[in-house]
């Protein structure tokens, strides 16, 4: 299994990569979402894990971008946004799952 993590928080990104490596999950971590187009043109993934609060973009807009490119890879949202309206927007844009920070790493693995 190969997953893409789009997360601009360096500490969280690094810890996710290390934890998922222990779980035998190949991980590509993208900490600058502006490079998403290049990554999606070169690689394919089994799951995309996407933060909503990013440095240069809204994660919600990236969901739309990914779906408009015709990519059907499951998208798991990993965010601090707790409101139902945020969840609803993400699902309507094409997200498949939604996990609120803080979270147990094992739950992330189970959802993947």
**Per-residue model confidence as pLDDT tens digits over 18-32:** 999 999 999 999 999
Q: What angle do CA 103, 33, 53 make, to 5 degrees?
A: 45
Q: Does the predicted model carry a pTM greater than 0.75? A: yes
Please provide the CATH number assigned to the domain covering 2-111.
Answer: 3.40.50.2300
Six-digit token pair at 32? 């600058």
- Rounded to an integer, the average pLDDT of 98-106 is 95
Burial code (b: 16+ CB inside 10 Å, e: under 16) for 83-94 equals eeebbebbeebe
44-79 pLDDT per residue, tens: 999 999 999 999 999 999 999 999 999 999 999 999
pLDDT band at residue 81 under the 50/70/90 scheme = very high
Going from N- to C-terminal start, the domains of the chain cover 2-111
Dihedral sign of CA atoms 55, 49, 60, 99 in order: negative
């Amino acid at each position: 299994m190969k997953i893409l993590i789009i997360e601009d928080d360096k500490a969280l990104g690094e810890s996710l990569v290390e934890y998922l490596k222990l779980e035998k999950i190949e991980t590509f971590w993208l900490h600058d979402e502006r490079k998403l187009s290049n990554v999606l043109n070169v690689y394919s993934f089994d799951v995309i894990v996407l933060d909503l609060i990013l440095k240069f973009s809204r994660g919600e807009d990236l969901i739309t971008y990914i779906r408009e490119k015709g990519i059907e890879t499951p998208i798991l949202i990993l965010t601090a946004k707790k409101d139902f309206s945020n969840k609803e927007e993400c699902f309507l844009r094409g997200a498949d799952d939604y996990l609120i920070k803080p979270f147990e790493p094992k739950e992330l693995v189970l959802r993947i």
